[in-house]
Structure 1
Amino acid sequence: MADFSALILAGGKSSRMGQDKANLLLHNSNLLQHMQQLATRAGASQVLISRNQTGYIQDVHSEQGPLAGILAALPHCEHKRLLVLPIDMPLLSVFSLQLLMQQSAATAYFNHCPLPCVLTNNSQLQALIEQQLLNQKRSIKQLLSTLNAVAVSIDDKELLNTNTPADWQVFLQQLTSATEYDN
């Protein structure tokens, strides 16, 4: 597998969660550290973080959602292939992310879920995102459709999105069940 960059999107307000999702505790670290480790274990030679705080890549276009985070990160990418990860999918596996990265298509994503996805960092991608944001269209699904992205099937359980405290509790229960099963 060729070298690739990974981008973790952690710039949202976490309003439905009621606290910063990136700081949710998971074992001996937080969710942001977990996702960084996941990206590295999947093979990323560079891990970028889009987070509207000092020390991270900040959106140039504020209040424009994940597309603005991707756009702001593109100039920082060292590699042509970019794996984009949401902060709030802690059940993603190294195996599935590697499967996504191994697709020969320039753009790929899982099932009917736009994130995570693989993008090709080039001037066309930057122009498409800028045009979408200019037209007030912040949809990653629309971007993937325009780029003729390939959908890859995986177990939907990995795509659990932890947006609310209830979602987080479901995740923790699944994690506890898996740990008990392994022992």
Structure 2
Amino acid sequence: MIGIILAGGLSSRMGEDKALLRIDGRTLLERTRDVLVEAGAERVVISGSRPGGIADRWAEKGPVGGIASVAAELDDGELMVVPVDMPRIDAATLAPLRDERRMRATRWAGHPLPMRLTLDAQTRATLAELIGLEGRACSVAALQARVGMATLSIDRANPRALANCNTPDEWREANA
């Protein structure tokens, strides 16, 4: 499994680079990488224009643009896609996603990310189609619907681990 950290956004609502926010003595980028390794990632790839990252070819396409950009650099296989702005994500929350393989994508109910995604010819073709679309038609939910998605019941997850932070208020709440 390859871990993908989506860290290419502008962080405009946060007012500063979310990937560099610190929690427990580490940046969110470092913490997310460590969680992915703990969850079984043999390799972790960063989506975004930052040192060691893969620049978004389609920056205006949000997470799908980041996933497509990274996919263009990877061989087929299993991906665990996690946004950098989930300060409480943990390996226990990722494990059920990692282990569920009935469909090409697996996510928690009500949460498009994090997700497990099978990268193969069908997923690549779907990403290429979505990049040509606008708005919600080019979304993680649209990707999941097109490739086939298993949804896990949220009662099996720690809701705090799935909180993402896009604003200073959300950041304070997640770290209270």
Same topology, TM > 0.5: yes
Larger radius of gyration: 1
Q: Please state whether the residue corresponding to 2:41 is helix, strand or coil.
A: coil
- Mapped partners of 2:160, 2:24: distance in 1: 20
The answer (yes or no) to whether the contact 2:57–2:65 under 8 Å persists in 1 is yes
The answer (yes or no) to whether the contact 1:5–1:77 under 8 Å persists in 2 is no
Matched positions, count: 170
Q: Which residue of 1 aligns with 2:84?
A: 87
TM-score (norm 2): 0.91
1:53 aligned residue (44, 47, 50): 50
* 1:94-113 alignment runs, 5 A limit: 94-105=91-102, 106-113=104-111
Residues 43-86 of structure 1: CA deviation (Å, up to 9, x unaligned): 10010000123531011123111101101111333561000000
Q: Please state whether the residue corresponding to 1:130 is helix, strand or coil.
A: helix
- Mapped partners of 1:78, 1:47: distance in 2: 13
For structure 1, the 5+ residue unaligned runs are 174-183
- Mapped partners of 1:148, 1:121: distance in 2: 12
TM-score (norm 1): 0.88
Q: Which residue of 2 aligns with 1:126?
A: 124
Task: Decide which moves more: 105-114 or 74-83.
Answer: 74-83
**Aligned-pair CA distance for 1:157:** 2.3
The amino acid across from 2:169 in the alignment is A
- Mapped partners of 2:58, 2:18: distance in 1: 21
Q: Which residue of 1 aligns with 2:170?
A: 167
Residues 105-160 of structure 1: CA deviation (Å, up to 9, x unaligned): 23100111111111111121111111111122321111111122011122322211
Q: Which residue of 2 aligns with 1:142?
A: 142
Between Structure 1 and Structure 2, the one with more strand by share is 2
Q: Please state whether the residue corresponding to 1:92 is helix, strand or coil.
A: coil
Q: Which residue of 2 aligns with 1:158?
A: 161
- Mapped partners of 1:47, 1:167: distance in 2: 26
The answer (yes or no) to whether the contact 1:32–1:87 under 8 Å persists in 2 is yes
- Mapped partners of 1:54, 1:43: distance in 2: 23
For structure 2, the 5+ residue unaligned runs are none
- Mapped partners of 1:164, 1:110: distance in 2: 22
